[in-house]
A and B are shown apart, each in its own frame.
Chain A
Amino acid sequence: GAVVSQHPSWVICKSGTSVKIECRSLDFQATTMFWYRQFPKQSLMLMATSNEGSKATYEQGVEKDKFLINHASLTLSTLTVTSAHPEDSSFYICSARDHQKGEQFFGPGTRLTVL
């Protein structure tokens, strides 16, 4: 299947700092990427839809000024968690859609721990 990479795979930061997570589609172009968050033993929750060349669409309850999304190219989307707090500690997973096939693949995830 198609490959989606994510970097970093894990990060530990101090409260108040900002963290940037990168998501890349390696062997297909993704005009649309998605950012999910998953807390332990819970389902994936969609945070936002990232569209290449335009503003992201955020789900209800997700602060767009706190979770900045940039989809600058057909293979790269970034999520920046600004002024991170301990309650932002979670597993962040990106996903990219292969528009030719309709299939959607996930990156390996980024585990964020905010101290």
Chain B
Amino acid sequence: GQNIDQPTEMTATEGAIVQINCTYQTSGFNGLFWYQQHAGEAPTFLSYNVLDGLEEKGRFSSFLSRSKGYSYLLLKELQMKDSASYLCAVRVSGDDKIIFGKGTRLHILP
């Protein structure tokens, strides 16, 4: 079966840095996604990693280790608007599907 694990909730302070981890065990692998989802809204694309390593995009960075089945999303200089759920998702090779984890609800404190 397919399994994607990430923490249910995390809390961090405005201006700080937070790392959200994701581990996966899937029948195949063809890329890992991170999305941000605010309550009542659709997910917004943040990053897409296919190869090992770190990809940086402004305040957000995403890391992938395929051998370990592990990824993390790093958020720097946290702002109140970063309070949201962060979804880790894996594209399972062969059928093009993307399977989602249950998401991590991030709370930002002033």
Contacts of B87 in A (CB 8 A): 43-44
Cα(A31)–Cα(B105), bound, Å: 32
A23 to chain B, nearest CB (A): 11
How many interface residues does chain A have, given as a range? 20 to 34
Q: Which of A42, A43, A93, A102 is the one whose CB lies under 8 Å from B42?
A: A93
B positions within 8 Å CB-CB of A:
31, 33, 35, 41-45, 48, 50, 87, 91, 95-103
Cα(A109)–Cα(B44), bound, Å: 11
Residues 91-108 of chain A, each 1 if its beta carbon lies under 8 Å from chain B, else 0:
101010100011111111
Which label, helix, strand, loop or mixed, suits the secondary structure of the A interface? strand
Contacts of B95 in A (CB 8 A): 49, 57
16 A-B residue pairs with Cβ-Cβ distance under 8 Å, sorted by A, are: A6-B42, A34-B97, A43-B100, A43-B103, A44-B87, A46-B98, A93-B43, A97-B96, A103-B45, A104-B33, A104-B48, A104-B91, A104-B98, A106-B43, A106-B44, A109-B42
Contacts of B35 in A (CB 8 A): 106
Determine whether the beta carbon of A46 is less than 8 Å from that of B99: yes
